[in-house]
Amino acid sequence: MEFKEVMKQRRAVNFFDSTQDVTETQLKQIIETAALAPSGFNLQPWNIIVLRDQEKKEILRKLAWDQPKITDAPVVLIVLGDREGFKKGNSGFEKDFAESVKAGIMKQEQYDWFINADQFSLRNVI
């Protein structure tokens, strides 16, 4: 199937069967698949909060315009983007870049270039 067809056929799910569970294996597969999505420099600057606790989902539901799907779904994933994911000292950045220098995969000059590239970021323009 072509990507355009996949996108045309996709649907938002608004109703869940609260008696059906999502197993830890299924959840792991979902998150691992999501991690395959591309990101700049493959930093994957995001974290996921997994909510299964009904009381916490009730709190979230109140913050999400009282949408029933929040409490009906067996698990809720909250995806948080890390706006500092490209900066020196950030754990994701250090894992991917500083460790690459240590392993000899990346040259120190490349690492230094990336650290200093922040001065040209869109955040400074917008």
Give backbone dihedrals phi and psi of 13, rounded to 5 degrees, phi first: -95, 120
Domains of the chain: 1-82 (3.40.109.10), 83-126 (no CATH)
Task: Give the pLDDT mean for 34-59.
Answer: 90
Task: Give the pLDDT mean for 15-36.
Answer: 92
pTM: 0.72
pLDDT of residue 98: 79
pLDDT of residue 125: 53
Give yes or no for residue 119 having a pLDDT over 70.
no
Residue 96 near residue 110, CB atoms below 8 Å: no
